[in-house]
Amino acid sequence: MIIDCHGHYTTAPKQLQDWRDAQIAALKDKARVPEKGDLGITDDEIRSSIEGAQLKIQRERGTDLTIFSPRASGMAHHIGNATTSEHWTHHCNDLIYRACRIFPDNFVGVAQLPQSPGVSPKNSIRELERCVNELGFIGCNLNPDPSGGMWTDPPLTDRYWYPIYEKMAELDVPAMIHVSSSCNPNFHATGAHYINGDTTAFMQFITADLFKDFPSLRFIIPHGGGAVPYHWGRYRGLAQDMKKPLLKDHLLKNVFFDTCVYHQPGIDLLTKVIPVENVLFASEMVGAVRGVDPETGFYYDDTKRYIEASGLSATDKQKIYSGNARRVFPRLDAHLKKRGR
């Protein structure tokens, strides 16, 4: 079985963006009371938006199941206030729920959180509970920088974040650390802000002892862990200078990396440097990089090809394809077992 742990609903029916545009436009009228309203999207529209995209790609590439969340760059937590984020997040998560109900064999949901800069992560607990307990989601995406490139909130290791970690630990769900769009013109969203978010989160974890407080907390750092695997010696050395334990003991029981690295040498490096137990298969399709690599003739995000060509043993490939995901997402494992998979 091949589980893609990182897929976004980037092809949602147009009404979703129309709703968002209207919501943003309404923010200009300060006197107006924000309304959640509804999207007016039918199940048929959801079906056709996925059939020709994510589902078609799953079939073509031979993957089985995608851990599916709202479009990451669309989260844009910096827009409006906590209520803006809450209404938008509800709609985005409800759509994921409906997509997973329509294609129960192919998708399982992960939640967007209604974060907002300067607003306590405590505020996201209710939506996380709703998504896990009522909608059957198995994890969440946690934005380490709700300001969109300005980094105005405290680091992930600050107690500021502890309420959401307590809830994640209680529900036994991991989070993918995932920034959203960038409103800082210095940082291209997917080329710089994403990779920066990944790298920054890992370095924050090194400097503190978060996992002493939360031994069962689990994070997936996407996009191959940003710059981390490539600079593994630097991070090991920095940890050593700070008198921290070896990274394998300090972080690797709690931090995992995905395979959204879009070329063979990158995957070879990732799987050589990071223990195989800490790598989860992912493609982020249909996502950040959509083109065909002229050097190979295949899509950049066809990451299964790189794992296949990596020279890893069949046992190691199986861990990356599904074993690790089932361990990191216990609710996914339970869900699959219930369905005889």
Catalytic site residues?
284
As measured in angstroms, the least distance from the Cβ of 222 to Zn ion is 6
- Asked if 72 touches Zn ion (CB under 5 A), the answer is yes
As measured in angstroms, the least distance from the Cβ of 176 to Zn ion is 7
**Residue range at the interface with Zn ion (CB under 5 A); choices 42-50, 65-73, 154-162, 326-334:** 65-73
75: enclosing H helix or E strand? helix 72-75
Q: Which residue is nearest to Zn ion (CB)?
A: 72
Residue closer to Zn ion (CB basis): 111 or 239:
111
The residues, ordered by sequence, that sit 6+ positions from 270 with a Cβ below 8 Å of its Cβ are 224, 225, 229, 257, 259, 261, 279
**Residue range at the interface with Zn ion (CB under 5 A); choices 45-53, 64-72, 96-104, 164-172:** 64-72
Beta strands 292-293 and 279-280: pairing type?
Answer: unpaired
Burial 129-163 (b: 16+ CB within 10 A, else e): ebbbeebebbbbbbbbbbbbbebebebbbeeebbe
**Residue range at the interface with Zn ion (CB under 5 A); choices 35-43, 71-79, 261-269, 325-333:** 71-79
SS3 assignment, position 293: strand
Number of residues binding to Zn ion, judged by CB under 5 A: 2
Residue closer to Zn ion (CB basis): 131 or 312:
131
As measured in angstroms, the least distance from the Cβ of 190 to Zn ion is 9
Distance between CA atoms of 218 and 235, rounded to whole angstroms? 19
Distance between CA atoms of 101 and 293, rounded to whole angstroms? 34
* 2 backbone φψ class: left, alpha, beta (φ>0; ψ -120 to 50): beta
Residues 270-289 close enough to bind Zn ion by CB under 5 A: 284
As measured in angstroms, the least distance from the Cβ of 57 to Zn ion is 15
- In angstroms and rounded to an integer, the radius of gyration of the C-alpha atoms of the chain is 19
Distance between CA atoms of 63 and 106, rounded to whole angstroms? 9
User: What DSSP letter does each residue of 35-82 carry, written as one string?
Assistant: --------HHHHHHHHIIIIIHHHHHHT--EEEEEE-HHHH-TTSS-H
As measured in angstroms, the least distance from the Cβ of 67 to Zn ion is 11
- Asked if 221 touches Zn ion (CB under 5 A), the answer is no
Residue closer to Zn ion (CB basis): 239 or 303:
303
Phi, psi of 48 (to 5 degrees): -75, -25
Residues 178-197 close enough to bind Zn ion by CB under 5 A: none
**Residue range at the interface with Zn ion (CB under 5 A); choices 68-76, 109-117, 199-207, 210-218:** 68-76
Residues 224-243 close enough to bind Zn ion by CB under 5 A: none
SS3 assignment, position 253: coil
Residue closer to Zn ion (CB basis): 284 or 302:
284
- Site map 317..336 versus Zn ion, x via CB under 5 A: --------------------
Residue closer to Zn ion (CB basis): 2 or 260:
260
Single-letter amino acid code for the residue at 256: F
A 10 A CB-CB count for 236 gives 16
- Asked if 110 touches Zn ion (CB under 5 A), the answer is no
As measured in angstroms, the least distance from the Cβ of 178 to Zn ion is 5
- The distance between the two most distant Cα atoms of the chain, rounded to a whole number of Å, is 62
Residue closer to Zn ion (CB basis): 179 or 320:
179
Q: Which two tokens stand for residue 274?
A: 């990071």
As measured in angstroms, the least distance from the Cβ of 73 to Zn ion is 8
Phi, psi of 157 (to 5 degrees): -90, -5
Residue closer to Zn ion (CB basis): 239 or 286:
286
Nearest to 178 by CA among 201, 158, 208: 201
Contacts with Zn ion, residue ranges (CB under 5 A): 72, 284
